[in-house]
Chains A and B, each alone.
Chain A
Amino acid sequence: MADFEIPELNEYTVIPKLKEGTMAHSSPFIAKAKFQEPLGFPGELVDNWEEAVLTKMDDLRSRYRGFQVFLDSCVKCGACTDKCHYYLGTKDPKNMPVARQDLLRKVYRRYRTFAGKFFGALGIPGFVGAADLNKEVLDDWYSYFHQCSQCRRCSVFCPYGIDTAEISMAARDIMDTIGMGQKYCNEIIGKAQTIGNNLGLPQPALVDTLEGLEEEVEEDTGVAVKFPIDQKGADILLITPSADFFAEPHVDGLIGYAKVFHEAGVSWTMSSHASEAANFGMFIGSYDNMRKLSLRIRKAALDLGVKRIVFGECGHAWRVAYSFLNTLAGPFDFLDQNYPIPQHICEFTYDLIQKGGLKLDKSENDHMTLTFHDSCNVARASNMGNKPGGQIDIPRAVIKAVCNNYVDMPADTIGEATFCCGGGGGLLTDDLMEVRVKGAQPRMEAYKSVVDNHGVTNLAAICAICKAQFTKVLPYYNFGMTDIVSVHQLVGDAIILTGSEDDVDNDASNNSNEQ
C-alpha cells in the first residue's frame, strides 16, 4: 500500500529512539512562477537570496514582537521534544519542535547576535548555536518547515510559550519572498483570490451542486430544505470551506447546517464571491494574502446586506475568523451587534438546542459509537460560547445532544493537548503523504484505544482538513475510510424536520400517548 514504513500503534504513546535524517528526503513540490507571481512573490529563487532572507527576517522581527521573543528565549529545556506528532511518528530529531525552531534560530544567531558574529568570524559558529546560511540550510528549511502543521501542541508545553507555528509561518514567508514557495498552498491561494474558493468552483458550478443537494434532501425527507446562494437581504451569511460542496464526508455537514437553519426559521445565504472559509494565507505566514482572502468575506457581507456571519466546520478558518477577522477586515459595525461576530455553526446549533428549537431523534445515530477529534486550530487558538473552554465543550455538547453513544479518547490526546490529524498547515497534499501518514500515528493510536476498549466506531470532526486527511490515512492503519464523519452530519441525521413523515408519525404517536 505504501512505499514507506507505516508506524505501529501502541497501547499508549511511546517516545521513539532518535533516527537521524529519516525524513530528510521529504519535500513538497515547489511552486512554479505561474503560482508564485500572482501572490506577489518572485517566480524562482532570486540571485541574492542569502541577503533577501536576512532582510525579510529583519522585517518580520520588527513587525512581530512574538517572533523576536521566540528567537531569543529558548533555554533548551527539552519540554517540547516529545510533543510533536511528526517527531513521534517519524523519529526524525529535526521534527522535535526545538530542533525545527533552531533551523531558523541558528541563522538568526549567526548574523544578528554578537556571539554568533564573533564565533562565526572565528569559523566556529556552532559553538554558540549559530550556523552559516547556505543552500543546504535552505533546503533543510524547505523540507522541515513543511513537516510542521502549525498545530501549536508544543507551545502548550513550552514554559516560555514559544510557538513553533509562528516560526514555521515566518520561515515560509521568508521562503516565498525569495521565490521558494510551496505549490499546494500557493496554487490554492491563487484560486481563492480569483475564483472565490480553494477548489476553483465557479458560481454556476456552485449553483448546480446546491440544487442537487436540495433535490437529494427533499427526496430523503419530503421537506424542501433550501441551500441559498447570493441571496441579497438574507440575515445570515454562511462562510464554509469549499470542500463542503465537493467532498465526502464534508458535504453531509453542509446538509446538516442547512437543516439546522431550516428548522431555526432564519433567512440565510452563502456567497459565490466568498465561497471559502479556509484561509491558506495563514499557513504561508503572509499577512497580505491572508488579508486579501478575509476582505472577500467583508465584501460579500456588505454586498448581500447580511446582519450576521456564521462559519461552517473549518479549523484554521475559525482561528482566523475568531482571532484575526476584525483586524484583517473589520470593523464589522454594520452587522447586528447582539450576536457574536463571527459565530461558529456549533455555537448556533448549540444555542438552538438549548432553546428547544430542534426536534431530535438520537436513535438515528445508534449504529455508531462516536468520539470527537479536537481540531488543533479550534482547540488551541480560539474559543466558542461565552466561557473559557467553550471550543472544547460546545462541539461535544452538540454531539451528545444528537447521539446516544459517545466516548472521549485518552485525556492527554484531546482538548488543549489534542494531537493534530497530521494534514494541517498546508501539508494536505499527495506529495507529502509519507509525513501525513506518519504524523497521524499518535491520533490513530488514541483512536485505536477507544475502538478496542470502548467499541468506538467513528470519529467526528469540525475541520475540512481533518476530514480529508482521515479519509486518506485511516486505511493505512486498518480502519475504514468512512470512520470519519462531520459533526453536523450527526446533527442533520438526528433532526426531525417539521412536516416530514417522521415528524407526522412522531406527533401521531405523541397524541395517542396522551389519549
Chain B
Amino acid sequence: MAAIEVNGKSYEVDEEGYLEDLTTWVPEIADVMAGIDDTKLDENHWEVINFLREYYEEYQIAPAVRVLTKAIGKKLGKDKGNSKYLYELFPYGPGKQACKYAGLPKPTGCV
C-alpha cells in the first residue's frame, strides 16, 4: 500500500494517489499532494477544495461540473464560473485533480 508523509504522519493512498480514508484528511495533505504535482495552492485553489469538501459532506459525491462552476462563479465572480478557469487552476482536470487534493474519491465512469 502506497502512502504519503504529511507532518511526520503517514497517510495511505491508492494506486492513483487518492486518499484511502477521507476522514483522515487535513489541509496539509492537499499542499503535499500539490507539491508532488509541482503545483502550489493559492486561495483560489482553496475556494474550490473547500467547496468540494462541503458538497461531499452533504451529498457523498463530488459536485457535477455545472454545480461546481456555478458555486465558484458566485464566490469568485462570474468570469470565473466556467470550466476554462477551473482547468487553469487544475490542469489535470478540476474533477479529478481537485478531488484528489480535497481527499475525495476519484470520480468514476465515462468522465
What are 16 pairs between A and B in contact, CB < 8 Å?
A: A191-B108, A201-B61, A202-B59, A202-B60, A204-B59, A205-B63, A209-B63, A212-B64, A212-B66, A212-B67, A216-B66, A241-B109, A246-B95, A247-B110, A430-B16, A464-B110
B residues near A216, Cβ cutoff 8 Å: 66, 70
A103 at the interface (CB under 8 A from B): no
Alpha-carbon distance between A250 and B59 when the two chains are bound, in angstroms:
21
Q: Which of A181-189, A288-296, A386-394 contacts B (4 or more CB under 8 A)?
A: A181-189
Q: Is A358 an interface residue (CB 8 A)?
A: no
Complex Cα spacing A468 to B111, Å: 5
- A213 — nearest CB in chain B belongs to which residue? B66
Contact check, B111 vs A208: say whether CB atoms are below 8 A apart: no
Q: Contact check, A465 vs B110: say whether CB atoms are below 8 A apart.
A: yes
B83 CB to nearest A CB, Å: 6
How far is A191 from B65 in the complex, measured between Cα atoms in Å? 20
Q: At the interface, yes or no: B107 with Cβ under 8 Å from chain A? A: yes
Residue-wise interface mask of B (5-32) relative to A, using a CB-CB cutoff of 8 A (1 in contact, 0 not): 0000000000110000000000000000
Q: How far is the CA of A278 from the CA of B70 in the complex (A)?
A: 27
Query: CA–CA, A184 to B110, complex, Å?
Result: 11
Min distance, Cβ A225 to any Cβ of chain B, angstroms: 14
* B residues near A430, Cβ cutoff 8 Å: 16, 96
Asked whether A243 is an interface residue with its Cβ less than 8 Å from the other chain, the reply is yes
Residues on the A chain within 8 Å of B107, using CB: 199, 246
- Chain A contacts for B58, CB-based, 8 A: 204
B109 touches A246 (CB 8 A): yes
Separation of A245 and B111 alpha carbons in the complex (Å): 10
Chain A residues 241 to 255 lying within 8 A of chain B, measured CB to CB, are 241-243, 245-248, 250-251
Which residues of B pack against A, CB within 8 Å? 15-16, 58-61, 63-67, 70, 83, 95-96, 105, 107-111
Contacts of A246 in B (CB 8 A): 64-65, 95, 107, 109, 111
Cα separation A314 to B109 with both chains bound (whole Å): 12
Interface contacts beyond A191-B108, A209-B64, A243-B110: sample of 4 additional A-B pairs, CB < 8 Å, sorted by A: A187-B108, A242-B109, A246-B64, A247-B65
> How near does chain B come to A249, taking the closest CB pair, in angstroms?
10
Contacts of B65 in A (CB 8 A): 246-248, 251
Q: Among the interface residues B66, B83, B111, which one has the most CB atoms of the partner chain A within 10 A?
A: B111
The minimal Cβ–Cβ distance linking A29 to chain B, given in whole angstroms, is 5
Q: Which of A188, A464, A465 contacts B108 (CB 8 A)?
A: A188
Total A-B Cβ pairs within 8 A? 88
Q: What residue of chain A has the Cβ atom nearest to residue B69's Cβ? A: A248
Q: How far is the CA of A467 from the CA of B67 in the complex (A)?
A: 20
A187 vs B106: C-alpha distance when bound (angstroms): 11
Chain A 418-439 interface residues, beta-carbon cutoff 8 Å to B? 428, 430-431
Question: Whole-angstrom distance between the alpha carbons of A17 and B95 in the complex?
Answer: 39
Mask: chain A, 166-189; 1 = CB below 8 Å from B; 0 = not = 000000000000000001100110
Within 8 Å CB of A209, what residues of B? 63-64, 66-67
CB distance from B56 to the nearest CB of A (A): 10
Give bound CA distance, A198 to B106, whole Å. 12
Complex: chain B residue closest to A202, CB-CB: B60
In the assembled complex, the CB of B97 is this many whole angstroms from the nearest CB of chain A, namely: 11
The verdict on A155 contacting chain B, using a C-beta distance below 8 Å, is no
Chain A nearest CB, measured from B59 CB (Å)? 4
Residue of B nearest to A244 (CB): B110
- Do residues B60 and A205 form an inter-chain contact, with CB atoms below 8 A? yes
Q: What 4 A-B pairs come out closest when comparing CB atoms?
A: A198-B109, A464-B110, A205-B59, A243-B110
Q: Does A342 contact B (CB under 8 A)?
A: no
How far is the CB of A34 from the nearest CB of chain B, in Å?
Answer: 11
List chain A residues, Cβ under 8 A from B64: 201, 205, 209, 212, 245-247, 251
Chain B residues contacting A464 (CB-CB under 8 Å) are: 109-110
Given contacts A205-B59, A248-B83, A464-B110, contact A431 B15 (CB under 8 A): yes
Contacts of A147 in B (CB 8 A): none
With both beta carbons as reference points, the residue of chain B lying nearest to A464 in the complex is identified as B110
CA of A485 to CA of B95, assembled, Å: 19
B102 to chain A, nearest CB (A): 16
Chain A residue at minimal CB-CB distance from B92: A430
With known contacts A209-B64, A251-B64, A29–B111 Cβ distance under 8 A: no
A200 within 8 A of B: yes
Contact of B95 among A188, A247, A467 (CB under 8 A): A247
Report Cα–Cα, A188/B106, bound state, in Å.
11
Supposing A247-B111, A251-B66 touch, asked if A199 and B61 sit within 8 A by C-beta, the answer is yes
A197 at the interface (CB under 8 A from B): yes
Which residues on B sit within 8 Å (CB–CB) of A278? 109-110
In the complex, A272 Cα to B75 Cα: how many Å?
30
Q: Across the interface, which residues of B come within 8 angstroms of A428, CB to CB?
A: 110
Cβ contact within 8 Å between A184 and B60: no
B67 smallest CB distance to A (angstroms): 5
